[in-house]
Every structure is written in structure tokens, then in C-alpha cells.
Amino acid sequence: MGIKVYGSPVSTCTARVLAVIEELGLEYELVPVDLSTGEHKRPPHIERNPFGQIPALEDGDLVLFESRVITRYLVRKYGKGSDLLKEDTPVEAATVDQWIEVETQHFNGPVSAVVFQHLFLPLFFGGTTDEKAAAAEAEKLGKVLDVYEVKLSKTKYLAGDFYSLADLHHLSYGHYLIAATPHGSLIHSRPHVKAWWDRITSRPASKKAAAGLVLSI
């Protein structure tokens, strides 16, 4: 019984999990969960994730939800000694944890709001982009990326001079920010953030994972 990912390749949180799977070179099966019919809110998916969201992972007897927990599990189980968490060195591991937390607490909120306004709202909910709300979130995101710009002027990646989950966790929302909103310049106008973005997206695993992120309006 191999790794099964329940989700959708166009979902940012599913793509986060697929990015680490590609990075580790693991075999897996993507089992589609159709959000448009509410499949995620009904059994059997609701038993995999009681919050009725995607993705969920099945690996043997283990069933896990929360994309950033799934990525850490996969690295711990299948990526021993890899730089993705740097668990062998407590100081570097703490730095990876810190920037993983920064993505979750500071980057994810505004970037997901901008992508929601420009992509998911019109595409899935038939709504119209609230330009004012989107611009306010874009401004917040810019302030977060100002902090990244300073950090990335000192190291090649967020946690140091090695690629880690802290970087990888940004791929899917960053992709849609550039491909599906008018706010891609938030990344491209900051030279160190841009160089970091080019570095992390040019990895073969990142390209493979991004291939599923095909939504546009």
C-alpha cells in the first residue's frame, strides 16, 4: 500500500504536498476529491479530514491532514539526512521551523486573500474581484516581502544557504500570485526575492509540481 494523496492538483495545499513528494522522488497516487460536488464534506473524505478540506495523506495505516504537517512527516519518514528540515543540527532546524512559521503566519494570509479575490472568487464562486480588498491585502503582502528581501540579501534561501521546506511551502501560492493576479510584481520588483523565486522555481521537482497548477481566468 503506497502513498495516497487525496486532493486536487490545482489546489495550493495539495500542490504543497506534491512538491515535497517530487522533491523526495516518491511514488504516489493522487486520488481526486471533487470540491465542486462537495465530496470533501462527505464520507469517506470527512473521515480523513474532519474539517472537510483537502489534502489528506494516507500512508499505510496513517491518515494525516494539514499540508504543512504532511510535508514534515514525509521528510522525516522518507527524507532522512536531507536538508529539507535539517533535523541533524538543532540551530539550523530551528531556523527552518522559524521560516516555516513565517510562511504560515505572515505570508499565507495576505497571499491567499489576493489569490482568492483575483482567481478563486470569480472562477469558483461567480463573484467579482473586490479590487480595494485585494489591493489592501497586496499591500500587507508587500510589507511581508520587504522582510524577505532583507533576509534574502544575506542568504540564498530563507533558512540559510540551503533549500528547505520553508522555501518549498511558498511555491503554490507564489505561482498563482504571479500567474493569475496583477500583483506578481510584489515578487519581481524585489531583486533578492526575485532571485530566490527564480532559484526555487527552477528546481525540476518544483516544475513538476507546478505543472498541475493550471487555473486561470
Chain residues binding ligand GS8 by CB under 6 A are 11-14, 35, 40, 52-54, 66-68
Pairing of strands 62-65, 56-59: antiparallel
By beta-carbon proximity to ligand GS8, the closer residue of 95 and 172 is 172
Question: Of 14 and 117, which has the nearer Cβ to ligand GS8?
Answer: 14
Cβ proximity of 215 and 123 under 8 Å: yes
- Residue whose CB is less far from ligand GS8, 54 or 152: 54
Q: How far is the CB of 77 from ligand GS8 (least distance, A)?
A: 18
Q: Tell me if the bond preceding 44 is cis, omega within 30° of 0.
A: yes
Grid cell, residue 61, equals: 495505516
Indicate the residue among 11 and 206 with the shorter CB distance to ligand GS8: 11
CB of 49 to ligand GS8, least distance (A): 8
Q: How far is the CB of 98 from ligand GS8 (least distance, A)?
A: 18
Give per-residue burial for 133-153: e unless 16+ CB within 10 Å, then b: ebeebbebbbebbeebbebbe
| CB 60, CB 1: distance < 8 Å | yes
Least separation in angstroms between CB 52 and ligand GS8:
6
Nine cell digits for residue 159: 533558512
